[in-house]
Chains A and B, each alone.
Chain A
């Protein structure tokens, strides 16, 4: 069974840092691109960042570029999101999502974790 489980969320002060982790199981982690998607309280979904299977392609939303860093350790079946210089507007549930490549060669999100809440507040 495919599973992705986020951890590392919590309360942090503005300007602080936090590192999210996503533990994957039930599939060959090293064969899939992975992404982070967030959802502010009562709001819609916002894509944050994506990383290819071998970490050779990395993308960020403009809202987090220069502050967040996505990485992965294929030996540990884990995805990470290092979040620095956090702002109140970064408060959200952060989801880890697996990206499946379809017949077109493009990848879409097929499995999502349960999410990890990050609250940025003084």
Chain B
């Protein structure tokens, strides 16, 4: 199985900050990497697929990069609605696997 490791597990940031979350795969997954945002009590929301493509309707303050084993999610200017938990997920092979999540909290 492909292990997905996110860092950090949590971070505190202020409104307006630029935030970067890292995801590492245990083996090469090309660009078959997605990012999701989840707020408490809500379903996950798809943000990015194919490592860097924005899902329809997702604001451009979110961006993704990487290929192979190392990936990043960047939020260019953090807003109050962006405080949530973010997950990466590989869809290169089965079983599909998720990172453990990164909780973005208000400083």
- Chain A residues in the interface with B (C-beta under 8 A): 35, 37, 44-47, 50, 59, 61-62, 95, 100, 102-104, 106-115
Judge whether B50 and A110 touch: CB under 8 Å: no
Residue on B nearest A46 in the bound complex, by CB: B98
- Chain B residues in the interface with A (C-beta under 8 A): 30-32, 34, 36, 38, 42-46, 49-50, 53, 55, 87, 89, 91-92, 94-101
Most buried by A among B44, B53, B55, B101: B44
Which are the 7 A-B pairs with shortest beta-carbon distances?
Answer: A47-B96, A112-B43, A108-B49, A45-B98, A59-B94, A108-B34, A44-B101
- A95 to B91: give the CA distance in the assembly, Å: 17
Judge whether A95 and B43 touch: CB under 8 Å: yes
Judge whether A106 and B87 touch: CB under 8 Å: no
Judge whether B89 and A112 touch: CB under 8 Å: no
Main secondary structure of the interface of A (DSSP, over half): strand
A109 partner residues in chain B, CB cutoff 8 A = 34, 36, 44, 46, 89, 91
Judge whether A106 and B92 touch: CB under 8 Å: yes
Question: Could you say which of A59, A110, A114, A115 contacts B49, with CB atoms under 8 Å apart?
Answer: A110
Given that A47-B95, A61-B95 are contacting pairs, would A112 and B50 also be in contact in the complex, using a CB cutoff of 8 Å?
no
Judge whether A44 and B98 touch: CB under 8 Å: yes
A111 partner residues in chain B, CB cutoff 8 A = 46
Judge whether A112 and B45 touch: CB under 8 Å: yes
A59 partner residues in chain B, CB cutoff 8 A = 94-95
In the assembled complex, the CB of B86 is this many whole angstroms from the nearest CB of chain A, namely: 11
Judge whether B91 and A108 touch: CB under 8 Å: yes
Residue on A nearest B38 in the bound complex, by CB: A45
Residue on A nearest B91 in the bound complex, by CB: A108
- A109 to B89: give the CA distance in the assembly, Å: 10
B91 partner residues in chain A, CB cutoff 8 A = 106-109
- A100 to B48: give the CA distance in the assembly, Å: 12
